[in-house]
Every structure is written in structure tokens, then in C-alpha cells.
Copies of this chain bind each other. A is one copy, B any other.
Amino acid sequence: MAEDSKGKTVSELARFVGGHATGDINLLIDHVASLENANQGAIAFIENTKLLDKTSNSNASCIIIQTGSSACDAQSIIEVEQPKLAFALIAQLLHPPKKLNPSIHPTAIIESTTTIDAGTQVHNNVSIGNNVKIGKNCVIHPNVTIYNNVTIGDNVIIHAGVVIGADGFGYVRSATGYIKFPQIGTVVIEDDVEIGANSCIDRGALGATRIGQGTKIDNLVQIAHNVEIGKRVVIASQTGISGSTIIEDDAVIGGQVGMGDHARVQSGAVIGSKAGVLPGKIVRAGSVMWGVPVRPLEEYKRLNAYFGRLPQMHNEINELRQLLQKALAKIEEMEKR
């Protein structure tokens, strides 16, 4: 399968994703598309079987559906267990990222003590300091800054404007103002990490800030000094993680979440958008949390519903008081008899 491929047949793609092809399985597919915008040569997918009737309006040459869905109206079909995953894998095959030539743009500034492995692309205006190690097959987009002594694994994607290894935010108050606490640690980013545009990952104060293998970080995220993030963690946009906080493997963190320092999110926990985790808080493995400060999701939703009924509760209290006063008046009256 050449990289300048002019496409694959439906049957080739079905084999590639371990699926079952029916219909015109020799059709040539050369791009992916949404069901609505697909045209000749496009492959689309459908996840929700309730939407199967939408396929009749699609001009896709092939539609990926879930194994066992009722038949749908298309020129060809690939049935697989996970249609969206198959679609993503086929997209990677049909739309390989364009390679830079040369792979390191002449305007990238890279210090001589830094090493970059084969296959890694460094775009223009990237700035990389001293003693940085970058693995193979990474893509570093324009205007990224990597400070000294940062270690980056293989297959890492760093989007434009990201800053890795800037000083952590630590000071000691003295009589005359703030003295900078040393920020002379490192950043270690493992394989298969992706970091969104304009996100910041500060260096450790004395130790290291770590991002584990396969973790995905969205745009404008702040990772403070000495934070340790495990493997396959997902962090949505504009979230901020304070110093020395630990996020274990497979956690999922929503957007605009804030975490205090020295907190710990145990493996597989899910934290909803805009939530706040207090300093030192431990979020239990596998729990689903929301709110400021975080509470179990169902509890927080119930509390929010009660919050919305506060005026009624207030009225009910007033009503009870009136009834009670009437009762007391009657009692008094009866006592007088």
C-alpha cells in the first residue's frame, strides 16, 4: 500500500479492519467523509443504528455499519464491531499526514546538544533548547517552544504554540517580595502523546513533570510543575492541573476543570467539565465526579435539582410556619376553655 495511494477497494479496506464487505466490493475508495457530504469514492460510517435510514440519502461509495445491523441502502457496506474505530483506522490509511521536506524546517532553532530521532518533523519557527531528546516519528508544529532538558518519546504530536518546560510557578515570600523557588527539574513526555495548540507543560521544580504514554491533551491546557499524568489519560480544553497533582491511567478529564495541588485522580475516574478538585483531594478509581468542589455525579445532579427548588423550599417553610401558628393559636384557645 503505497503512501501516494490512489485508494483501496472496499474488500481491501474490509480486510484491513477485520470487517465483512457486501455489495460492490471492488469499488475504489480514496477518502473518508461524513454521511451527508460523501460523494463517489468516499467511505462514511454510521454508529447509531437508529440513523440507518439516513444512509439512503448518502452518496458514499461505502458505508461502515455495525455487525448485525439491519441492511442499509448503499453501494457497498463494511460490517464491523466498532464502526467509528474502523473509520478512524481507514482514515489514517487513506489520509496519511503530509511529510515535511526536509523534515526539519530551516527556520527551526535547535540547540546543538539536542537529539532528534529519525522520522520526526520539526516545522518552522519551532524553538528547542539544550539537552532535549526527541524520539522518532514525532510532529512538532510551528511556533512551539521546548525549553532545555526535556525528554519526548516516539510518535508524539505537538500542536502550534505549545510551550514545554517553562518554569513552574513557585516563589517564597521574603521581606522584600517574592523569591523564585528553583524551577530546575525536567519534563518527560512518553510515546503516543498528543498536545493541543497553545497548551503549557511546566518543568518540575526539582523533579520531573510527566505525561504518560498515549495521553491526549486538548488546547490551552495548563499542566503545572511536578504533575504526573498516567497512560491513556484524556484532558479536554482549558483545564488546569496544579503542582504535584497525580492523574492515574485512563482517567478522563473534561474541559475547564481546575485541580488544586497535591490532588490525586485515581485510575479510570471521570471528571465533568468545569469541575473543581480541591488541593489534596483523592478522587476514587472509576468514580464519575462533577461540581465545585467535586462530588459524585449523581449526587451533584440531585443537589443541583434541589438548588433549583430553593424558592419552593423557602415558600414551604413559610407555609408550615403559618399553619403551625394557626395550630398554636387553636391550642392556646383550647387551653383557655
A residues at B contact (CB < 8 Å): 32-34, 37, 82, 84-85, 87-89, 91-92, 95, 98, 105, 107, 109, 123-125, 127, 130, 141-143, 145, 147-148, 157, 159-161, 163, 166-167, 169, 171-174, 177-182, 184, 192, 194, 196-198, 200, 202, 206-207, 213-214, 216, 218-220, 222, 224, 231-232, 234, 236-238, 240, 242, 255-256, 258, 260, 273-274, 276, 292-293, 295, 302-304, 306-311, 313-314, 316-317, 320-321, 323-324, 327-328, 330-331, 334-335
Copies in the complex: 3
Please tell me which one of the listed residues B105, B184, B214, B231 contacts residue A32 in the complex, with CB atoms under 8 A apart: B184
* B166, A219: Cβ atoms closer than 8 Å: yes
* B143, A88: Cβ atoms closer than 8 Å: no
A299's nearest neighbour on chain B, judged by CB, is B308
Known contacts A172-B88, A240-B237, A323-B328, A200 near B219 by CB under 8 Å: yes
- Closest CB in chain B relative to A157 CB, distance in Å: 8
A144's nearest neighbour on chain B, judged by CB, is B143
Known contacts A32-B206, A255-B258, A196 near B169 by CB under 8 Å: yes
Known contacts A88-B180, A184-B32, A317-B320, A219 near B169 by CB under 8 Å: yes
- Closest CB in chain B relative to A61 CB, distance in Å: 15
Q: Using Cβ atoms and an 8 Å threshold, which residues of chain B touch A330? A: 331, 335
A159's nearest neighbour on chain B, judged by CB, is B166
* Given A220-B222, A237-B242, A274-B276, 8 further pairs, Cβ under 8 A: A33-B206, A95-B182, A105-B109, A141-B145, A169-B236, A220-B220, A313-B314, A324-B327
Please tell me which one of the listed residues B33, B200, B295 contacts residue A197 in the complex, with CB atoms under 8 A apart: B200
Q: Using Cβ atoms and an 8 Å threshold, which residues of chain B touch A172? A: 82, 84-85, 87-88
- Closest CB in chain B relative to A227 CB, distance in Å: 12
* B109, A142: Cβ atoms closer than 8 Å: yes
Known contacts A127-B123, A178-B232, A145 near B163 by CB under 8 Å: no
* A92, B180: Cβ atoms closer than 8 Å: yes
A160's nearest neighbour on chain B, judged by CB, is B145
- Closest CB in chain B relative to A276 CB, distance in Å: 5
Known contacts A237-B169, A240-B255, A222 near B222 by CB under 8 Å: no
- Closest CB in chain B relative to A247 CB, distance in Å: 15
* A276, B273: Cβ atoms closer than 8 Å: yes
Q: Using Cβ atoms and an 8 Å threshold, which residues of chain B touch A316? A: 317, 321
* A85, B174: Cβ atoms closer than 8 Å: yes
* B159, A163: Cβ atoms closer than 8 Å: yes
* A303, B313: Cβ atoms closer than 8 Å: no
Tell me the complex Cα distance, A113–B84, Å. 33
* B302, A311: Cβ atoms closer than 8 Å: yes
* B310, A303: Cβ atoms closer than 8 Å: yes
Tell me the complex Cα distance, A323–B324, Å. 8
Tell me the complex Cα distance, A293–B303, Å. 12
Q: Using Cβ atoms and an 8 Å threshold, which residues of chain B touch A237? A: 169, 200, 222, 224, 240, 242
- Closest CB in chain B relative to A178 CB, distance in Å: 6
Please tell me which one of the listed residues B107, B177, B206, B307 contacts residue A214 in the complex, with CB atoms under 8 A apart: B177
